[in-house]
Amino acid sequence: MSHSPSTPSQPLSLIYLDANATTQVLPQAAAAAISTMETLFGNPSSSHISGIQAKQIMDKTRKQAEQVTGAGQGKIIFTSGATEGIQTAILSALTHAKKSLDSNKNYTLLYGATEHKAVPESLKHWNEILEINATVKAIPVDNMGQLDIDFIAKEVPNALMICTMAVNNETGVYQDIALLDNTIRANNQDVAWMVDCVQALGKQQLDLSKTSIDYAPFSGHKLYAPKGIGYMYVRENAAFTAFIAGGGQESGLRSGTENLPGLAALSTIFSMLLGESETAFAPVETLHLFRQQLVNALTQAFPNIVFNHHFENSVPTTLNFALPGFSSKEIMDLFDAANIRVSSGSACSSKVTRSFVLDAMGLPAWQSESAIRMSFGPAMSQEEIDNACQRIAFAAQALTQSCLTLDEVNTNAEVITDKTELDGLIQFKVGGSCTWLYVDSLSKSAVIIDPLPEVAERLKTLLNCRGLTLVAVIDTHGHADHVSCRENMETEQLSDQQSDSLGWPENTPCLTINGIVYHYINIGDKWLLKVTTPGHTDDSISLLLCEPVKDSTKPLSVHYAFCGDLILMGSLGRTNFPCSSATAMYVSLQRLNSLIGPDTLLCPSHDYNNEFTTSIGAEMSVNSLLAQVINNDIYSDDFALQKARMDKNIIDEAGSEIMCGALLLSLIHISEPTRPY
């Protein structure tokens, strides 16, 4: 029973809405596993009574799996999980295909562009190991996540294997298996076909024997069984090569002593699916009602919510959404604070934030980078859904209605009230772009740097709720990838202040350092120093938050350097715009370094890899070109040539935000985030 959000002094019980990643082991399944370990622990391969009793458990589970899967004359082979099943299927198909390869023919291996990364990575692995040398191709999807049937019809005649999935793990989108079957077999009767059925188990009716699917892997931990147990369907007469050889278990198809406790737990789950147990899963109709209840709660709580998939072709247990102006980390932190577990579009990586699934569907970059997945299983109850909806409303109230916000500085991601002191630096992200808010709590003053329109209302709310005085709102340069909301904010918040084209106030005091005049403004007891740093654009500036300068001959004491797109994490700002100049950037890099040194925290206007801040010293260790500039090991002309080569790595994809810097080669190959299987 969940505690009411109206009594925050009581700890909130956990609401788990990340079932597509894994599920809790149901008590009945856990009890079956424990009982098997304690009383029916025999080896199924032994011929004595204990072994026979153990084998009975295995045989029962296999028959249930056949029923649940609609296996017909196909085989059910128990595995450690989906990844092993995927390996077995691909190894079997490619080993068989290799026997009849035509050296004069070009072959392909096809997989859905939204497939779990376990599939394409395994295809590439075995393609190389077996020296097949086929071209691995992704099958495109449309904006609803549906596979391109025309592409399949064109490419499958030359394919050795095609891999699709029944239900997508990020969006819940399901494929039309009958349409795929007809298309594939009309164009290639012999191609091996694997369908990842992991997310379909318990959510869709399966009758695999009525299809031409050759292989279908399943995983127990996605449906309330323990981790480490799974199974795969193999069509009758489909090619098969054992992935694990040894003692000959599973009729020689998969060696290794069987995971009997896991099988006993899986049998319990199958009994619930088949209606053989007193405890049954919620029917699909009820799951649809649960989803609609969650949708209603989310829409009421967050009126601007955008759902990243269409419900008409998605299973009812998955919701994928984004909130304009909020990063996935902010929303996850918010839900975590309310003790609700959801996942982001990049659950396994803090360095790469995009969802390749949503990218493949052609969704805007901000949706891909801000995606939240909410998923549940068929054991979900009405009470849990009611509690979840109540908690969602509470979380939204904490975020928007009571001037509450997430404490970005606090890594524990606690929710703070409007009475909590706001002090220091806060980053707001939209896609890869950053807005910076610096607040001096003593003077109740604030400055906003590179304001994004998506976070404008949040910034206004913060200023008003905290009683903050906005000193200035400043852009570090004219942005090519978005329209700044600076002018609107100036009109509303600083109507009496005159400023230049980037928002720097007129008639500010100045000082001279090494013969160069710098202007500054006061933010509480600190200075914000303006430094001209052209290169990325001809109007680029950097802003240094520093201690007041009492002696201009001594080094500055700089807390933060807002450097725009001069230096980015793992790169330098691009210099191939008409208003760019690589030689000017060379001078700007040396000037900035002379003022702030190697250790001052840099706050760029883009943070593509979720790193928050960096420093010149840290960037020099990974960016040899920057190191050469700072160490005076290169002249400006040579720098311009190398910078032009670096900029050639920039790829501006249609529908995505303009990249303001090219990632270095050391960062280009960061693996995409994958959800665990």
Catalytic residues: 348
> Rounded to whole angstroms, what are the CA distances from 14 to 18, 299, 336, 384?
12, 22, 9, 10
> Rounded to whole angstroms, what are the CA distances from 373 to 340, 345, 346, 392, 464?
12, 7, 10, 14, 32
Q: Rounded to 5 degrees, what angle do the CA atoms 288, 292, 293 make? A: 115
Measured between alpha carbons, how far is 130 from 136 in angstroms, rounded to an integer? 14
Q: How far apart are the first and last CA of the chain?
A: 30
The first and second tokens of residue 666, run together, are: 């050391």
Closest CA to 422 of 407, 412, 436: 407
DSSP 369-393: HS-EEEE--TT--HHHHHHHHHHHH
Measured between alpha carbons, how far is 472 from 529 in angstroms, rounded to an integer? 12
By DSSP bridging, strand 230-234 and strand 306-307 are unpaired
Residue 213: partners with Cβ closer than 8 Å, 6 or more residues away = 177, 181, 193, 194, 195, 233, 235
Contact 155, 137 (CB under 8 A): yes
Measured between alpha carbons, how far is 251 from 422 in angstroms, rounded to an integer? 66
By DSSP bridging, strand 108-112 and strand 135-139 are parallel
Beta strands in 173-277 (DSSP E): 192-196, 215-219, 230-234
Measured between alpha carbons, how far is 456 from 451 in angstroms, rounded to an integer? 7
Q: Rounded to 5 degrees, what angle do the CA atoms 546, 547, 549 make? A: 105
Calculate the CA 665 to chain-centre distance.
22
b/e for 375-411, b at 16 or more Cβ within 10 A?
bbbbbbeeebbebbbbbbbbbbebbbeebbbbbbeee
Closest CA to 163 of 234, 215, 220: 215
The three-state DSSP-derived secondary structure of 526-567 is EEEEEEECCCCCCCCEEEEEECCCCCCCCCCCEEEEEEECCE
The first and second tokens of residue 346, run together, are: 């990049």
Contact 68, 207 (CB under 8 A): no
